A = this chain, B = another copy of it.
């Protein structure tokens, strides 16, 4: 069982916007922290595309976040010192988990092997899992495939490292594009909804297609407990 991390397990919107508000207040800079957060995250997909489409070589999220933050600040007409920008970039290593996530992962690990499968690089994931108290059997990352989800190589590399046929691996994610990529690479999929991922006022999204559609993480654990044999495989 592999888990997407940003959005699915941790709440980047609240964590990053609080950090932005704090940094702006300290620097005496006027800033709409929520707007910055949403615009910054909005540049995430296009930044990954450049690597996915091989328009540039592998480049980790710290560097992509650094570049897209500078672009976002320019768009907003906000000037922020380099050290403050670095503190914002580092914020992606310290995101709070959604309620119940640490407990759910611990429960699932008693049933079967559970890994992260994130676009975050291994170092970022080490920092983030330590900060958020997330426990995995191992961390799997787009970095190990040299490209980003939803490129099929990322899911295929994960299955290969787990020593499993792709259809013996379930990806849990809140994003339709991630579930679709996993399905295309032959994995099973589970949808975990995170309606406030983009903030409390974000518009509702269509429920994406998946083999399992959980109403929340407790429901997911219950369904997996029914399916999994007690011995790990």
A residues whose Cβ falls under 8 Å from a Cβ of B: 113, 115, 121-127, 129-130, 135-139, 143-144, 161-164, 232
Contacts and interface: CB of A to CB of B under 8 A. Distances in A.
A210 to B, nearest CB: 24
A144 B122 CA distance: 12
Contacts of A115: 126
A163 to B, nearest CB: 3
A161 B138 contact: no
A167 B106 CA distance: 33
A59 to B, nearest CB: 14
Nearest to A135: B135
Contact of A163 (B123, B138, B164): B123
A129 to B, nearest CB: 7
Nearest to A143: B161
A199 B15 CA distance: 52
Copies of this protein in the assembly total: 2
Nearest 10 CB-CB pairings of A with B: A123-B163, A138-B139, A122-B161, A126-B137, A113-B126, A138-B138, A130-B232, A123-B162, A126-B138, A122-B138
Contacts of A121: 161, 163
Contacts of A124: 163
Nearest to A158: B122
Contacts of A125: 138
B163 A122 contact: yes
Given A143-B161, A161-B143, A130 B137 contact: yes
Nearest to A136: B138
Contacts of A144: 144
A138 B163 CA distance: 17
Contact of A130 (B113, B122, B127, B162): B113
Contact of A126 (B129, B130, B162): B162
Contacts of A129: 137
A162 B127 CA distance: 10
Contacts of A126: 113, 115, 137-138, 162
25 contacts: A113-B126, A113-B130, A115-B126, A121-B161, A121-B163, A122-B138, A122-B161, A122-B162, A122-B163, A123-B162, A123-B163, A123-B164, A124-B163, A125-B138, A126-B137, A126-B138, A126-B162, A127-B232, A129-B137, A135-B135, A136-B138, A137-B139, A138-B138, A138-B139, A144-B144
